[in-house]
Structures are given as structure tokens and as C-alpha cells.
Amino acid sequence: MNEGEEGEPHMRRTARFISRGWVATVAALAATALTLGACGSSSSSSSAASSAASSSTAASTAAATSSTTSSSGKHVTIAYLSFAVANTYDAPMLSAAKSVANADNATVKVFDANNNPATQYSQLQDAITSGNYQGIITQPITSTNLIPLVQQAISKGIKVVNIDQILGPKLDTFQKQVQGLSGNVTFVPTELGNKFGALVVQACKASNLNPCNVGYLYDIKASALDVALRSGFDQAIKADPSVKIVAEGQDFFTPAMGLKAVQDMLQANPDINLIAGSDQGIEGAQQANTTKKIVLVGYGGSAAGISGVKSGKWFGTVQQTPATEGKLGMQQVIAAAQNGTNAAAVDPLASLPNGGTILKSNVSQFTPEWPG
């Protein structure tokens, strides 16, 4: 049982997503059709992006603290099942959640699955059987394998709130899919993919690319998240027949792997004039984009992505909000554990300006919640 230290900030921004045993883990993830959010880290991010990430994470944590007041409810202990503590997408989410817990008379115990679905399943079993927790936050690696255990926890009176990733078979809704769930704070993968695809169409038109030959970067092609994202993406690009996917690659949530994938795509398809992928992949694509002007379109709304949009090196990106998810999820599970209050499901991206689509013309309206 990998149990984190109470109150530890876990803000290790330079930690690599790829760890020992990564090859075996990738195989396990692909086989179980995992659902992962845009996560990972890069030592190649610009200093400006790192500085922006530091200030934005601090702001997010401060917001989480100031938005809650010290609770008069009973003390509760919450198990937080992280898909991977040592990455820059999860770090601000966990930090914001802990800030809420500190203000609301709750203790947080962190279980780090390190991107391994089997480990996460075992950790949830341990949390349930220990009898130590009044509440559990799930951040699933796969969308369905935790459901029987979540149902078991609920039957034992443990309050469960799901955050960030879908818990259930449907990847086109943020609504609760497990009866008795006390809260759900998730983005909708198909909608994110649709916004991402629409941004690519906009970039092709604005850059006068006809045909618009797209190199598409998956994070992990076999994952449920990537399948759902691509479904929404393909639906959006149907609006413009000049947009053609001419090559595909995988970045495994890291700029280094994104760089290699883009180099391979460009070698085989030198007519590519636009690269589309998660912010981590596009960071790698930016490094490869030195000899010819290729349009770059990302999703994630990270500090690196927003910096790229501001500088004009990226056409745009679509924001994600991990710190907000951590804050809201912890608020929901504490309210449930202390008072029996069940919360409505929340899509944290629903109220973003311009639907969360970030362009140079509106970039000042957005604050990144993770470094990239």
C-alpha cells in the first residue's frame, strides 16, 4: 500500500512521467484501455512557463484555501487515490485538495498508483478494508475497473467523490454513473476533443492551409481517453474537407516522446503543415519545428501552452483545470463525510471564457493551473 505523507505538498515539477517499469506499465495501460488526463512533466519547458506555473499554482492553492472556511463539522479522514503523484498535472490538483482539507477539519492520506491500474485497484481495496476512511476521492486510471470497489465502499457507508477522469462506461458525460456517488467533478473527453478539433479547423483557415495536412499526436492511442478525444476531434474536422490527418504518433504525455514522434512523422510525411496534440506533445513538436513553419495546436491550457500562444509559436490550446477539480472534489467529499451532503455533478470546464479555447486574442483571460 503506497500511502503518502499527510500534508506533503507533492509539487515535484521536474519529475518524469516515464518511470522504472514504464514499458510494462504502458502495455498494461493499453490492454485495459485506460483513461488518463493530460499529465506529465518536462524539464524542457521554458523558464517563463515554469515561472507562470509557479505563480498560477500558488494562486490556485490560495484560492482553494480562501474559498473555504474552517469547518465546525467532525474531523474526517479522506483517502485520495491519485493516478500519479509525481507529475505536473496532478500536483496542483492534490495541492488544492489538501488546502481545502486543512481548512475544513480533514486529514488527507494519499495513495499513489504511479499510472498502474492494478496498483490503484489494490489501493482502493486497502482503503476500504482498513476502516480508516470516512471519505474517498477517486481519480481513475481506467474508467470502469474501480466501479465494483466504489460500490462496495458506498455500501459500507464511505462517501466517495470522483474527480478529473470518468468513472463509468460513458465518456461523453460529466454526470454520475455510479449510484450513490456523493460527487463528481470531471471534464467530458468527447467535448474536449470536439473543441480541440474545432481549434484545428480554425487554425487551418487562419493560416491559409489548403490542404491542411495534420500530424496527430495521441498520448496513448489505445487509451479510452484518447479514443474519446479522437472521436470528438474527428467530428469537428468534418466541417472542413481540406483538413486531413496524414500521420499519427504517440507522445506518452512527455515532450521528449512528442519530439521523437514528430520527427518520425515529418521524415515520413514532409508535407505536414500542422501538428495537433496535448500540450506535452506540442512542447516536443515546438522543438522539432525549426526548419519550417508548422502550425502548432494543443490542448491542456498549461503554462507552457499559454506561453506558446502568447509568443505566437502556438496557434492555440484548450484549457484544463486540475487545481479547480481538486478543490471542488475535496469540498464535496468533506461535506458528504461530515454532513451527509451529496453534491450535483460538475463540469469544471463549462464556465470557461470562449469555451476554454485559448487564442492570442484572448490569452489574457486565462490563468494556467498546471505547468505542462
Are 339 and 272 spatial neighbours (Cβ–Cβ below 8 Å)? no
Q: Is the pLDDT of residue 252 over 80?
A: yes
**Per residue in 233-246, pLDDT tens?**
999 999 899 999 99
For residues 173 and 292, the model is more confident at 173
Are 321 and 159 spatial neighbours (Cβ–Cβ below 8 Å)? no
List the Cα angle 81/85/336 in 5-degree steps. 30
Q: In this predicted structure, what is the pLDDT of residue 73?
A: 80
Fold match between domain 22-187+321-349 and domain 190-318: yes
Judge if the upstream peptide bond of residue 117 is cis by omega within 30 degrees of 0. Answer: no
Question: Region 100-120: what's the mean pLDDT?
Answer: 95
Q: How confident is the model at residue 53 (pLDDT cuts 50, 70, 90)?
A: very low
User: In 10 A of CB 144, how many CB atoms?
Assistant: 16
Question: Region 125-135: what's the mean pLDDT?
Answer: 98
Q: In this predicted structure, what is the pLDDT of residue 14?
A: 30
Give CATH for domain 22-187+321-349. Answer: 3.40.50.2300
Beta strand pairing status for 274-278 and 243-250? unpaired
Q: Is the pLDDT of residue 69 over 60?
A: no
Q: Is the pLDDT of residue 41 over 60?
A: no
Q: In this predicted structure, what is the pLDDT of residue 19?
A: 35
Strand, helix or coil for residue 354: helix
Q: In this predicted structure, what is the pLDDT of residue 243?
A: 98
Q: How far apart are CA 293 and CA 273, in angstroms?
A: 7
Q: In this predicted structure, what is the pLDDT of residue 114?
A: 87
> Helix and strand tally (H, E) in the chain?
11, 11
Q: In this predicted structure, what is the pLDDT of residue 37?
A: 43
Q: In this predicted structure, what is the pLDDT of residue 45?
A: 38
Element (H, E) at 358: strand 357-359
Domain residue spans of the chain = 22-187+321-349, 190-318
| CATH homologous superfamily of 190-318 | Response regulator (3.40.50.2300)
**Per residue in 73-84, pLDDT tens?**
899 999 999 988
Q: Is the pLDDT of residue 266 over 50?
A: yes
Q: In this predicted structure, what is the pLDDT of residue 148?
A: 98
Q: How far apart are CA 338 and CA 127, in angstroms?
A: 18
For residues 222 and 245, the model is more confident at 245
Question: Region 40-51: what's the mean pLDDT?
Answer: 38
Element (H, E) at 299: strand 295-299
- The model carries a pTM of 0.81
Q: How confident is the model at residue 291 (pLDDT cuts 50, 70, 90)?
A: low
Question: Region 338-351: what's the mean pLDDT?
Answer: 96
Question: Region 181-193: what's the mean pLDDT?
Answer: 97
